[in-house]
Amino acid sequence: MLKNKTAVVTGGSRGIGYAIVKKFLENGANVALFGSRQETVEKAIAKLKEENPEYPVIGLWPNLNDLASVTEAFDKVKETFGSLDILANNAGVSSSTSLYDYKPGEFEKVMNLNVNAVFTCAHSVAPIMREQGGGVIINTSSMVSIYGQPSGSAYPASKFAVNGLTKSLARELGKDKIRVNAVAPGIINTDMVAALPESMIAPLVARVPLGRIGQPEDIANAYLFLASDLASYVTGEILSVDGAAMT
């Protein structure tokens, strides 16, 4: 579905991001896996190469809040693969700290990665995509961008902002044939959720009408659809993938 396309996936070394990287590779894309640290990126690349030595994948670790660093990385991707067609803005950090316990800088840390980095990456990639005649930007939102959450207000606030960026950039960049969408995952079986005791997992499952927690591949499948030509007339959407989870 993505043959001859080149994708960048931020936060691609584990969890949902790694699943997106793998799904894109399985569907014929060249992929640049971006992570926060060299060692985690290289470990993820080695794991992918163990599965298929022929996977066209490279790893980079730019500072996503630094425009020059991001631009240099994107230029490297285009130099390596010849184009940059898909940007998956997946890197992010969660928060569950009560308002009463917030420490100085914590809110800013969440916003820097979850919002500012999304904007910086979009700002850097848009001219490349416009010059190529189009492209796709997909942002990772969250179910809490719709419902909020009872603690850790920085996280839902950041994801509300991601939704706003998504819808606004879709309207602004449509004339340049750049589609912009977001995926809003529900409760997904990432490392963080897997580490929870069964006593905490059961109530989470009870809130999902489909009767199960989502898997990273469920989110990767949504990304694949939005990145592909099957979604050629889909832009400005926040696609919930949450099993109709009830708050």
Active site residues: 155
> What distance in Å separates the CA atoms of residue 49 and residue 36, rounded to the nearest whole number?
20
CB 152 within 8 A of CB 97: yes
- Sort 188 into a burial class: Cβ within 10 Å, 0-12 / 13-18 / 19+: buried
Sign of the CA dihedral with 193 first, then 194, 195, and 197 last: positive
Residues with Cβ within 8 Å of residue 22, at least 6 apart in sequence: 48, 51, 220
Sheet strands side by side (includes 135-140): 57-60, 30-34, 6-9, 86-89, 135-140, 178-185, 238-241
